[in-house]
A = this chain, B = another copy of it.
């Protein structure tokens, strides 16, 4: 019926995969449901991507690429830890509205139960850890704080935390709780450098 370019079909499938994953969840996402949403035959999922999971990973990659470009720019503006927390908060809200969190979390959830997926997911987290590390290094690198909290570890902590936040946001309908976490971070960030002061002898408690 339709003589479309390969590229266009792949594109439609990726969009449909992302959409289905976001609206139906991984459990409701199959070659058929994706294909129906894309308006094409489900065999194309295998023809173009080799399977359902590779297609979903392609959707994740597209989502990640978009976010990475946008977030890199946003993070580049931050000069202090406070600004960085502000940026992270904005990033979280953008990700949430854009459905990226849902997309990502659904795949993480699926990966938990499927070793093949697991590997792919973890690989795709590395660039983000690097990104956060580089950003932290730029902002606090060389400072006494960086000596106490090495950017690499801090990056890993941030990503781990963000993963938990994503999960909770997804599981729990109550958004105020996750928002409170960013509020907490905003209150701590400007004080973080205090952590590097000389520690007075502690009075017995």
| Identical copies of this chain, number | 4
Q: Does A26 contact B (CB under 8 A)?
A: yes
A112 in contact with B106 given A153-B180, A164-B161, A184-B153 (CB within 8 Å): yes
| A contact face: mostly helix, strand, loop, or mixed | helix
Q: Does A111 contact B (CB under 8 A)?
A: yes
A125 surroundings in chain B (CB, below 8 A): 171
CA–CA, A191 and B197, complex, Å: 9
Q: Does A157 contact B (CB under 8 A)?
A: yes
Interface string of A78-109 (1 = CB under 8 A from B): 01100000000000000000000000011011
Q: How far is the CB of A90 from chain B (nearest CB, A)?
A: 19
Of A8-16, A33-41, A63-71, A113-121, the one with at least 4 CB within 8 A of chain B: A113-121
Q: How far is the CB of A108 from chain B (nearest CB, A)?
A: 7
State whether A195 touches B184 (Cβ < 8 A). Answer: no
State whether B156 touches A167 (Cβ < 8 A). Answer: no
Q: Does A188 contact B (CB under 8 A)?
A: yes
Q: Does A172 contact B (CB under 8 A)?
A: yes
State whether B113 touches A26 (Cβ < 8 A). Answer: yes
A160 in contact with B156 given A80-B205, A115-B25, A191-B195 (CB within 8 Å): no
Q: Does A74 contact B (CB under 8 A)?
A: no
Q: Does A187 contact B (CB under 8 A)?
A: yes
A168 surroundings in chain B (CB, below 8 A): 160, 163
Interface residues of A in 172-205 (CB under 8 A from B): 172, 177-178, 180-181, 183-184, 187-188, 190-192, 194-197, 199, 205
Kindly list the 4 A-B residue pairs having the minimum CB-CB distance in the complex, ordered from nearest: A164-B164, A109-B112, A27-B113, A25-B113
Interface set of A (CB-CB < 8 Å, partner B): 25-28, 79-80, 105-106, 108-115, 118, 121-122, 125, 148-149, 153-154, 156-157, 159-165, 167-168, 170-172, 177-178, 180-181, 183-184, 187-188, 190-192, 194-197, 199, 205
